[in-house]
Each structure stands twice: as C-alpha cells, then as structure tokens.
Amino acid sequence: MRLGLIGYGSIGATLLGLMTQTGLRVAHLSVLARPGTGATVKGRIAADQPALAGVVTVAENAAGLLHTAPDLVVECAGHGAVAAHLPAILRAGVDVVQVSVGAMSDPALEADLRAAATEGGARIVLPAGAVGGIDLLAALAPAGGLEVTYRGTKPPRAWAGTPAEAVLDLDTLTKRRVFFQGSAREAARAYPKNANVAATLALAGAGFEATRVELIADPSTPGNVHSYEVRSPVANYRMEIENLPSAGNAKTSVSTVYSVLREVRNRMEVVAI
C-alpha cells in the first residue's frame, strides 16, 4: 500500500510506530505537513521510524500529496486540515480515513466533503475512535426512534484551552462537574479537540441535533471515560469505556490510534473485521 498521512502529531507518530510494531509495511509513505515545516517533519520521521526513511515523501500541500499517488490517506491534523485538504483529495478519487470526525458538525463542510467524495468516487471512512458499539448503533439507525445520550468525562487538565475554562477553575477543581449540556453539533463545534466521539455517535445514529451530550470534568476519573445510552424500538444498550489518555496529548484517548490502525489494517489485510 501507498499510504498518505495528513499531520504528524501525536496520533500520526503513534500510528506509524504501531504499524511498524505489528508488521504492517507500506511501499511508500507520503506526509502532508504545514507549509514551512516539511524538512523538520521529515527529520522527525527519520528519527522516530528509521525503517521508513527510504520510503518517505513530505509534501506541504494537497497537490504534492496527491502527486505521490497514495492508495489511502489518513487525516489526523484537526478540523482546519479537513476543510483545507480533504475535498481535493476526495475529488481525486482517494479514500480518506477522517480522524477529525467533529469537522462534520459544520453542515456546509459536511456537504462539501460528501459532494467531493461522490464526484471522485471515493469514500470517507469515519473510525470509531475512542468509543465502542458504533456498529450496533449504525445498524439500529434505520429503524428510527433512536434516543442517544453521550457523556464524556476527562480529568480537568484535559479540558484546558477549551470553553470549560470560562466556567471552571480547572487547576483547583476537587469534585465532578458537568459543565456542558447540549446537542452533539454544539459540543463538536465548541470542543473540536475533545468531542469527536459525540460527532461519531451522531453520524452513526440519531443525527447531530437529536444526540444529547454532557461533558464532565472529574479529578477522580481513571482516564478519559466515554459512556452513552441508546434506546430504540429494536434494542436498548449502554456502553462505557475507560481509556488511557495519549502520552502526547491528554485530550486524545490512546485507543483512538488503535482504531485508526484497525482501519488501515482492514485495508491491507485479506480479511477485514
């Protein structure tokens, strides 16, 4: 496989490391970096993954990435990167694993991405990320009547740099506090680095407006805890997952990277599950 990667932060670096550890080999790796950072990123990849040094190309725009003819592109660079690069890549007919699922909370951007994928005959793959049971939720959606409530609980410092700082003193918080209640669209727009799970649940199930969200800061939480409840005419269930935060970014659950690895593996292996 010729793999493209948009962004080389915590998720991108961890993904490449896991691919090496699990024996997934690529014929070529092309990385899309921010303008002016190409040489730095290439040096970091060479230092982190010396086995890839001979097969890496670093581009600084979507045209440069597409020039390397990737079979699959993994986006892990945030909402801005989705808007800036994915339409062109999809129109070129290249499938994309979109990690920044919350970007779909912008109706205009979602419409543009869907139109670009249709035009290019490409697919947008949304990984489950840090949450489980997405297969069941998506299976129940056609029956209608879904009621979905999601609760995202993280340590106080994981909410640093978000609107939570306006309502909580994150440094001195001593007890569990619910600081946001609203729709999945509102959550994904206000907390783009923390609420991708809410967007994933909305897209798989009842939609952005009907999916209810609570965001919680809790100094006693064992990690990043994602829980949600589903009621439907077909089945009812509850899911709760305790995730360890990523070593490079407390806002991201480490299981998110394993979810992305699964999507890449399913593209490369003869059996997909």
Tell me the C-alpha distance between 210 and 229, whole Å.
13
Of 204, 78, 229, the closest CA to residue 147 belongs to 229
Tell me the C-alpha distance between 176 and 152, whole Å.
12
Tell me the C-alpha distance between 68 and 224, whole Å.
37
Q: C-alpha dihedral over 49, 53, 55, 61, to 10 degrees?
A: 90
Of 86, 111, 101, the closest CA to residue 201 belongs to 101
Residue type, position 86, single letter: L
Q: Cα(first)–Cα(last) distance of the chain, in Å?
A: 18
Residues classed as catalytic: 226
